[in-house]
Structures are given as structure tokens and as C-alpha cells.
A and B are shown apart, each in its own frame.
Chain A
Amino acid sequence: MLSAIGAKDIDALFRDVPQSARLDGPIGDLPLHAPEMSVERDLARMAARNLTASDTPFFLGCGAYKHHVPASVDHLIQRGEFLTSYTPYQPEIAQGTLQYLFEFQTQVARLTGMDVANASMYDGSTACVEAIFMARRVTRRKKALISGGVHPHYVHVAQTLTHFTDDEVEARRPVLTEGAPGDDLDGLIAAVDGDTSCVVVQNPNLFGHVADLSPLAAKCREHGALLVVVVTEMVSLGAIQSPGEMGADIVVGEGQSIGGGLNFGGPYLGLFACNQKHVRQMPGRLCGETVDAEGKRGFVLTLSTREQHIRREKATSNICTNSGLMALAFTIHMSLLGEAGLRKLAALNHARACQVADRLAKVEGVTLLNDAFFNEFTIRLTREARPLIRRMADDGILGGVALGRLYEDDGSIENCVTLAVTETATDEDVNALVAAYEGAAS
């Protein structure tokens, strides 16, 4: 090959690299190549140091949920034709990807109660900040209101990115009202005015509370602001009314709980849906229906004049690679569930959560804060929760998220724990959990 090229050796091909910057051999203090067997052993050792959700009584949520994913989902997404293909830039040989994206967009739009959805974002938090930017483009206003019930990491992401743009973000503090922890919807409604570009609210919120957002939607409409609804637990939409039915203009979400594993936080699946009239202001890729030269139906990436590879600095977002394979997992899992399966899964989650909430509420020193919830709720203890949750982990029980982990320096919150209960929790798991809280009280 070198002679066909006309180079005397490999290094001749690197002649443009200044001599001073060239490395003359492998970088020192990094190991040399290793056989498959030893790499596997090495990483398996690291994996074994972690406490896995399936091996423990597990009750964590707060933006990432453990659900049973049918075996066929992971089998199908590992087909090389999906796993090792690229963004479908050549639609004639990417109809597999394009058709599932079209199915995915339809499923997400229907679940959220919106007209259209895009082909995915990185995760729920980045979808959320993109919604704030989109609301600025639509309303030509800069002030976003974020409710106290929105996941604090999502709030941090929004604050980080808007700090460097013209946007203003007013992040409201969570209010731990008994019965309806998180949002203070009355206060939020009162804060909406003619300068508000959008109101961001999460449902169910970080504390698990489920609220009717219709009054908030009405106030937003009255002032020409957009209502952005965040959903981090998509299974909830099998049981409760969709954000679209409540009047949302944009719905963003984390799709991990359908088809995705916990994966220590990623890869996850950002969801983005809105109404038809705003579609040209959307970020990210969109798949659309068309026909081929013989009139047969087919699918292509479309409206790409919004996107960075065409519009460069005038694009609606800089996103390029998204979460295609996670979208496929979502679509397959959703196709397996169907309407009937999703509703049953949601009912099962809710029923299990009600049972666990009732049992915990009877434990001395535990107060249940939620009246209304889906599969996640918040309890208040009589002392700081974080050390207790750590002790439970030492005993092999993952007993919820101590909210002191998510909120800094807030006396009223550090005693609280948010627990998620899904179909994966067995009776033994629940007994172990309740015993752990009982033990902590005594």
C-alpha cells in the first residue's frame, strides 16, 4: 500500500505534524494491548464492586426508574443493522431507522397529547433547556419561570446554559406543603405576567406529586406565555391525563423508563413534543413521510433548514447526534406494551406505590407528604435522611433518594426521602424496606 501511495513509511504520511509534537512511540504509563479475556476480567471486577438494582430492595427514582424491560427489546436493538448504522442521511438505505423514528414520533406525540414530536434529544434535562430556548424564539420574550417541583438537576442545567445567553430564568424554590409538596401552583400562577416567555413545570413533580395543570395553562394562555411540561416518568402517562389534555404547549421528557436501563445515568432518551404551529421552531431532527420516485411511501429526515448542518450559526440548536438507539428501544417496548399493556403497567405501578406509601406512613417518625402521586412519593423523617440512606445502602437496601443529595442547605428538605415503587418491587423487597425504616425510628 505504501508503494501505491508513494510513501517510504508510515511516518512519511504524518509529515505535516511538526517534528516537535510527534510522539516517537506509544505513550508511556498507559498499558499495552490486552487480550479480550483479560479486558473482560478487568472490567467485570469493576462491575462487581457496584450494588446492582436487581440484587437489592430498590426504591430510587427522581428522574431515573427501574422497570422490567422485555428481553426482546435489547435483542432487537443489538441487530447490527440498527446498532451499527449512522444517522439516516441516505434514506433509500436507511428506511429501517427512518420508519422506527416515524413510529417513535407518533407514539411520543400520542402519549404526551401533542401534535408532533422530534426524533429525540440527549436526555430530559437538555430537552428541557431547549424548550426554554424555543419559547424565547416563539414568544420573543426572555423570562422563563421554573417551578419548584422541577428536578433540581434540570434547573441547574437550565441555569447553566441560560447564564450565557440573553435568557433570564427565575427558578422558584420547592415548597414542602403537606399534601402537595413541590410546586406552590397558586404562587406560580400569580407570578406569570406579560414578560413571561414560558413556565416550566414537572408532572408528576420531583416529589412525586400529581397536579392538574389546567389553571396554570389558562393563565399562560391569557398572557401569551408557553406552558412547558416536563415528564420524567413516561409510564405515568398510562394512568394520568396527558400534558396536552391539560393545555401544554411543549412537552419535554426523559424516556428512559420505557425500554431503557438505569445505566448510571446514561445513555438516556430526551423527548420533545409540541403543537403543529410551532414545529418550525423545534430543535433536533424530524422524520417525515414522503414518496419515492415510483410513488411508494417512504420516510426522510425533514425540515432540516432548522438544523446546524444547513443553517450553521442560525440553527435552532447545535444538536447533531441524538439518542437514536434509545428511541428504538422505547418504540419496541411501547409496541410490546400497546395501549392495554401500558395502562396495566401504570396501574400496577400506582397500586404498588399506594401499598408501600400506606405501610411507610404507619412507621413511627415517618410522614407521607403526598395526597396525590403516581409511583413516587416523598416522606419526611424526624432527622436528616442522608446518613440513614447511606446506612441502608451498607445493608444492601436502596431505600430512596435522600433529598439532601439534590438540594443544598435547605433545612426542611434534608429530612425528606423520595421513593419510587415500580412493578419490579417484590413483597420481600417491601418488607425489607419497611423494616429498615422501622429500625431507623427505634
Chain B
Amino acid sequence: MLKNGRQTSPGSVTENAPQTFTGNRALMLDEPLIFEIAGPKTTGVDLMDVPQVETRLGGLERNREIGLPGLAEPEVVRHYTRLSRMNYAIDMGIFPLGSCTMKHNPRLNEKLARLPGFADIHPLQPAQSVQGALELIDELATWLKKLCGMPEVSMSPKAGAHGELCGMLAIRAAHEARGEARKVVLVPESAHGTNPATAAFCGYEVDAIPATPEGRVDLAALKAKLGPDVAGVMITNPNTCGLFEPELAEISEAVHQAGGYVYCDGANFNAIVGKVRPGDLGIDAMHINLHKTFSTPHGGGGPGSGPVVFSEALAPYAPLPFVRKAGDMLELVEEEQARTGSHSDSFGRMVAFHGQMGMFVRALSYMKSHGADGLRQVAEDAVLNANYILRRLEGELTAPFAASGPCMHEALFSDEWLEDTGITTLDLAKAMIDEGYHPMTMYFPLVVHGAMLIEPTETESKAGLDRFIETILALAGAAKAGDVERFKEAPFYAPLRRLDETAAARKPILTWTEPDLAEAAE
């Protein structure tokens, strides 16, 4: 029992409680699929009458039913409100997913992104009718360039992995312009999965760089791999073990000497924003997740936004489109204008339009609210919070790199402390769910066994961190005391018990089928 809480041992709530007729438990409501509650004739929208015209659909009128049920507005509102209550969210509590940077999403940003002047403009309007939008993009670009100490930024990539692709294509284009066909990209073992996937996506072979026992890139091993076939390295800083790469400037120098370029995965930029400029470390390209460092909401898996900053060397290859000053006006440089002039080396276009405008508004709102001083404090507080967690937990959990010094914005633990308990990282995570917490990142990075990566972010209070830490310590105590069942069977109190992911993959059911049709197909 928590000191200020109620009895929480498994079973105590339900032992003498009746089974309900509905299967619901007060505010915990089951909710069927929309297809099970809606009908083909119902609609929740009120449209004006359709004028009588002779159709001109080329004889291709749809004559079969689509199979899309509809609901009246109150039912739709209830359906999705009920679904929403089955989700954990940063609005409900700490969301300590390492590497994912779940920080508070200020609501001012939401309000401003919905101003009609931003939300209700078409991407192909003539430039003179969208000067304010171009001004916003240009101002955000200026902030990003100054915060990174780099001369160019490409705003169009749609998310972090898309930004990686943008950076790597610029590297590829730069080599091509020199007449070189380098084939290999070096990626540390601890990298996000998107890094090797991106390198392969643009046609490179991936060679892994090992980590040192201290959890950092092995500089000697990296240098040994450099050569005329190496196009560049993809490095994450701070890295996914939560550590700053102190030799990054030397790494950059060595890579440049070997004729390669340095791509930095900027997913962890929130740890150093305002404290260090990546440009000062010799980086050639880095994506910035606006949905991490600059607080745009993750939305249950997107949309993100991943602008990429470039060094002088890669700037000419940056993709289209971009905003440029033309006299008193701002203009968008697209294919037509790019064929001539200073941007004739651009490697091309990555998206249909100009990037994630909605995210740009939110990010600029966040930057202006925090200012240069506040952003610096964001990094400091994020690092302070992570170190507090590291030091308060390192005695009970195993922190493999704790001796390497302070961590940056996230604290990494392995499952060594669970050895012989029969409890895994996954079990611990599910037990955290019962305690009302979203678990940390599990089993990543791959360089430690059973990894648990905790990123609190700067928006957690000390009191909140203390409650979280005490919870983990209590669970650690229970695990070591042999209370295996509460872990193995967890979660007990979530809307659903543990889900069978193996069965889902063996015989995938990816869409809903009417029950009679589903039966007939068996």
C-alpha cells in the first residue's frame, strides 16, 4: 500500500465484486468497433441538397456498396471519447519513453496552429497571398540555423526518419557531384533502427561500429574502418545510451579527412539545445525532430516534422522547395527556379508540398515562448532530471554506464539486476502499467541486455519524479523478494490483460469482416 493510497494488491478489488451484466466496470467501458454499432443509412453530417445535373463520370459511377457505416454526431463523439479513455498520454502522467522525448505539449501551440491564416491556406496559392506563412517558415528556419550553428536548413522532411533520408541523400549527391560512388555508411551498434534502414534505403551498405565498454563510439575502431569506400557515418549525439560523444569533433575531423561526411541523428537534440551547437562539432547534416525537442504533440504516432540543418559543404544539395527573399517579398523556390542559379545542385524534392506547416507553427510558438534563455534551460532541466533518476536508481537497478559520468537527457539500465528472479524487462514494464505509469523504452538500445531507457524530460516536477522513483524502487524490491506473479501476470488493471502479439503476427487480421462472412471464410 502506498503511504497516501489505497490497498492495491492484485485481486483485492474484484474478489468479492459481482460480474457486471455489460462487462463494463463503472468508468472502464468496453467499446465495440464502429462497424459493429453503425449502420449504412445513418449519417452524422447535414449536407445541402444535391443539384440535379447530368453526371459526367465517364460511365464509372460506383454501383457497389462501399461498406462504410455511419453514426449520428453524439454517437461518434461518445465512441471516440470512450476509445480515448483506453489510452495513456503525457497529459495523464510521466511518459518516460527513452529516445522519444515525451514532454508537455503547450496548448498555446495548438491554438496558434489553428488560426485560419495558417490552417486554412492552400499550398499552391500564389506566393503574394501567403507571405505570412512564408515569413513563419523563414523565421523558424533562422531559429534552427542559429541554434545549430549551421548555414542551411531544409524544412520539408516529414518526420525524423524522413529527415535522415534527406541528410543521407545530400551526402550521396555530394559524392556523386565529385564523381565518387562510395558504397559504405558506418553506423554505431547503438543507433536507432531508422539509421541503418535509411542508409540501406538510399542504396548504401551498412557497417556497424562497435561501442566501447563506456557506452560510446569506439574512435579507434571507427578510424580503422574509414577509407575511400566510406561515404560517411551516421552518429547519434547524445547517443542512445544517454551519453554525450566527447570525441565527436575528432570523429568529424577523421571522417572529413577520409573524404566522408558526418550525419548526426538529432533525435536527442533536446539534451543540448542552447548548450552546444552541432555545427561546432563538425556535423554536416542533422535532422531535428520538432515533435521531440520543440514540443509538437506526437499524436499517437505522428505527424512529426524533421527539418535538416546542413553544413556549408552539403548546403548546395539541399532539397526543394525552400523559402527565399526576393526584394521585399518571400518566394518559394521550386523546380522551375531551381534549375538555374545557386540551387542547381539540389538533389530534388522529398514531399508533395512544403513540409509540416502545422508543426512549424507549433514549434515556433514554443521557441518564442522559451527564447534563447529558456531553451538552454530546457536542456539543463532535462539533463538534471535524468541524472536524478540515474543516481537514485543505480543502487537497486543495474546502470551499466553509470561510472562513465553524468548522463544527458536519459538514463539507461540493463536487466542484470533481475537475474535469477525469473522476471524480465517486459514483465517489469507491464507491472509499471498497473502502477499507473507508462513504461520506459524496453530492449533498446541493443548494446545492453534487456535495456530500460528512461527519459523524464524537463517538464516533470521533482515531486513527480520522486513518486515515479519510489514506484520503481518498490517494484524492484518486490521483484527481488520473489513476488513473481505480480510481474508475470501483469497488467491486472489495464483495460486489457497482456495481449498475444505472437498470435496476431501468425495469422494477421488487419481489417474488420462482417461476422457471417468471417465464419464463411473459416
Check B369 for interface membership: any CB of A closer than 8 A.
Answer: yes
A79-104: which have CB < 8 Å to B? Answer: 79-97, 99-100, 102-103
Per the 8 Å Cβ criterion, residues 205-253 of A in contact with B are 210-212, 237-242, 245
Given A74-B114, A210-B60, A325-B297, decide whether A153 and B102 contact each other with a Cβ distance below 8 A. no
Chain A residues contacting B81 (CB-CB under 8 Å) are 76, 79
B384 proximity list for chain A (CB < 8 A): 1-2, 5, 10, 13
Q: A263-B357, A393-B126 are in contact. Are A23 and B274 (CB under 8 A)?
A: yes
* A6 nearest CB neighbor, chain B only: B391
Question: Which residues in A have their C-beta under 8 angstroms from that of B406?
Answer: 5, 7, 12-16
* Segment 29-53 of B: residues with Cβ below 8 Å from A: 31, 33-35, 38-45, 47-48, 50-53
Encoded as 1 (CB less than 8 Å from any B CB) or 0, chain A from 400 to 428 comes to 01000110110000000000000100000
Task: Let me know if A183 is at the binding interface, CB within 8 A.
Answer: no
Contact, CB under 8 Å: B43 / A340: yes
Q: Knowing A116-B511, A267-B358, A408-B335 touch, does A40 contact B301 (C-beta < 8 A)? A: no
* Shortest Cβ gap from A345 to chain B (Å): 6
Complex partner residue of A40 from B45, B111, B193, B390, CB under 8 angstroms: B111
Which of the segments A141-149, A368-376, A432-440 contacts the partner chain? A368-376
In the bound complex, how far is the Cα of B57 from the Cα of A238, in angstroms? Answer: 12
Contact check, B159 vs A321: say whether CB atoms are below 8 A apart.
Answer: yes
Tell me the minimal C-beta distance from B404 to chain A in angstroms. Answer: 8
CB distance from A25 to the nearest CB of B (A): 8
User: B474 an interface residue at 8 Å Cβ cutoff?
Assistant: no
A residues in contact with B124, CB < 8 Å: 60, 62-64, 401, 405-406
Contact: A76 with B77, CB < 8 Å?
A: yes
Residue of A nearest to B513 (CB): A106
Contacts of A48 in B (CB 8 A): 117, 132
For chain A, the bracket of interface size reads 35 or more
Is the beta-carbon distance between A341 and B508 smaller than 8 angstroms? Answer: no
Name the CB-closest residue of B to A342.
B68
| Interface residue B400 (Cβ < 8 Å from any Cβ of A) | no
Q: Which residue of B lies closest to A167 (CB)?
A: B203
Check A153/B353 contact, CB under 8 A, given A29-B146, A49-B132.
yes
The chain A residue with its CB closest to the CB of B68 is: A339
B438 within 8 A of A: yes
A154 to chain B, nearest CB (A): 6
Distance of A80 Cα from B88 Cα, bound (Å): 9
Q: Please, how many angstroms separate the alpha-carbon atoms of A261 and B44 in the complex? A: 19
The answer to whether A78 has its CB under 8 Å from any CB of chain B is yes
For residue A348, CB closer than 8 A to chain B, the reply is yes
Residues 4-57 of A at the B interface (beta carbon under 8 Å): 4-7, 10, 12-18, 20-23, 25-34, 36, 39-40, 42-55
Q: Indicate if the CB atoms of A355 and B365 lie closer than 8 Å.
A: no
Among candidates A10, A39, A266, residue contacting B357 with C-beta atoms closer than 8 Å? A266
Q: Are A261 and B276 in contact (CB under 8 A)?
A: no
> Which residues of the partner chain B approach A398 to less than 8 Å between Cβ atoms?
122, 125, 129
Which A residues touch B21, using CB under 8 A?
none
**Minimum CB distance partner of B74 in chain A:** A72
Task: Say yes or no: B365 contacts A337, CB within 8 Å.
Answer: no
Instruction: Report whether B499 and A263 are in contact in the complex, using a CB–CB cutoff of 8 Å.
Output: no
Q: Which A residues lie within 8 Å of B33 (CB)?
A: 99, 102-103, 106
Chain B hits for A72, CB < 8 A: 44, 73, 76-77
**Minimal beta-carbon separation of A308 from chain B (angstroms):** 4
Contact of B136 among A46, A261, A265, A334 (CB under 8 A): A46
Measured CA separation A324–B303 after assembly (Å): 6
Beta-carbon contacts under 8 Å, A332-389 to B: 332, 334-345, 347-348, 350-352, 354-355, 370-374, 389
Closest residue on chain A to residue B162 by CB atoms = A122
CB of B298 within 8 Å of the partner chain? yes
CA distance A153 to B156 in the complex (A): 13
A26-B373, A290-B503 given; A94·B87 CB < 8 A: yes
Are A239 and B44 interface neighbours, CB within 8 A?
no
A140 within 8 A of B: no
B202, A164: Cβ atoms under 8 Å?
A: yes
Determine if B419 is an interface residue (Cβ-Cβ < 8 Å).
Answer: no
Q: Which of A25, A66, A78, A351 touches B110 (beta carbons < 8 Å)?
A: A78
Q: Determine whether the beta carbon of A160 is less than 8 Å from that of B348.
A: yes
Among residues of A, the one whose C-beta sits closest to the C-beta of B364 is A43
Which A273-306 residues have C-beta < 8 A from chain B? 279, 285-294, 296, 298-300, 302-305
Q: Which of B35, B161, B305, B496 contacts A320 (CB 8 A)?
A: B161
Evaluate contact between A347 and B351: CB separation under 8 angstroms: no
CB 8 Å contact bits of B186-203 with A (1 = contact, 0 = none): 000000111011111111
Q: Please, which residue of chain B has its CB at the minimum distance from the CB of A400? A: B124
B405 within 8 A of A: yes
- Contact with B300, one of A2, A54, A88 (Cβ below 8 angstroms): A88
User: How many angstroms between the C-alpha atoms of A103 and B47 in the bound complex?
Assistant: 24
Given contact pairs A292-B500, A300-B499, A335-B70, A318 touches B197 in the complex (Cβ within 8 A): yes
CB contacts under 8 Å to A, within B50-85, are: 50-71, 73, 76-77, 79-81, 83-85
Residues in A with CB closer than 8 Å to B57 are 210, 239-240, 350, 372-374
- In the assembled complex, which residues on chain B have CB atoms less than 8 Å from the CB atom of A138? none
Check A341 against B194 for contact (C-beta < 8 Å). no
Query: Complex: how many Å from CA A1 to CA B300?
Result: 32
The answer to whether B496 touches A241 (Cβ under 8 A) is no
- Chain B neighbourhood of A337, CB < 8 A: 43-45, 68, 70
B122 interface neighbour in A15, A28, A264, A318, Cβ under 8 Å:
A264
Smallest CB gap from B383: residue in A: A13
Determine the chain A residues whose CB is within 8 A of the CB of B70 once the complex forms.
Answer: 335-341
Alpha-carbon distance A370/B56, docked complex (angstroms): 9
Contacts A103-B35, A265-B123, A350-B55; is A344 near B302 (CB within 8 Å)?
no
Q: Which of B158, B202, B277, B372 has the most CB of A within 10 A?
A: B158
When the two chains form their complex, are residues A17 and B274 in contact, meaning their CB atoms are under 8 A apart? no
Q: Roughly how many angstroms separate A189 CA and B320 CA in the complex, as a whole number?
A: 32
CB distance from A51 to the nearest CB of B (A): 4
A302 lies within 8 A of B303 (CB)? no
| Pair B118/A82 contact, Cβ less than 8 Å | no
Looking at the complex, which of A170-178, A190-198, A309-317 is the stretch in contact with chain B? A309-317
Q: Does B83 contact A99, Cβ atoms closer than 8 Å?
A: yes
Residues 362-401 (chain B) with a chain A CB within 8 angstroms:
364-365, 368-376, 380, 383-385, 387-388, 390-392
Answer yes or no: B260 CB below 8 A from chain A CBs: no
Are A85 and B298 touching (Cβ within 8 A)? yes
- Among A39, A66, A210, which residue has its beta carbon within 8 angstroms of that of B365? A39
Is A394 in contact with chain B by the CB < 8 A criterion? yes
Which residues of chain A are within 8 angstroms of B417 by Cβ–Cβ distance?
none
Asked if A322 contacts B301 (CB within 8 A), the reply is yes
> A86 contacts which chain B residues (CB < 8 A)?
95, 97, 100, 102, 298, 300-301, 438
Q: Given A80-B92, A286-B508, A348-B47, check contact A335 B71 (CB 8 Å).
A: yes
Given A93-B494, A125-B351, A264 and B301 contact (CB-CB distance below 8 Å): no
Q: Point out the residues of chain B lying under 8 angstroms from A126, CB to CB.
A: 158, 162, 350-351
Give complex CA distance A241, B491 in Å. Answer: 46
- B258 in contact (CB, < 8 A): no
Give every chain B residue within 8 A of A245 (Cβ-Cβ).
64
- Chain B's closest residue to A24 (CB) is B275
Q: Which B-chain residue is minimally distant from A71 (CB atoms)?
A: B73
**Contact, CB under 8 Å: A318 / B161:** yes
Q: Kindly provide the distance from the CB of A43 to the nearest chain B CB, expressed in whole angstroms.
A: 5
Show 23 A/B contacts (Cβ-Cβ < 8 Å), sorted by A.
Answer: A17-B244, A21-B249, A54-B120, A81-B88, A84-B105, A90-B88, A102-B511, A153-B349, A166-B203, A241-B64, A261-B119, A262-B121, A262-B122, A265-B355, A324-B300, A325-B303, A326-B303, A328-B299, A337-B68, A340-B40, A341-B43, A373-B56, A408-B335
Extra 15 A-B pairs, beta carbons < 8 Å, given A26-B371, A342-B68: A4-B392, A5-B384, A14-B275, A85-B298, A90-B429, A92-B499, A100-B83, A264-B123, A292-B496, A298-B499, A312-B196, A313-B199, A342-B66, A344-B50, A405-B124
Which A-B residue pairs are the 3 nearest by beta carbons? A338-B70, A47-B117, A265-B353
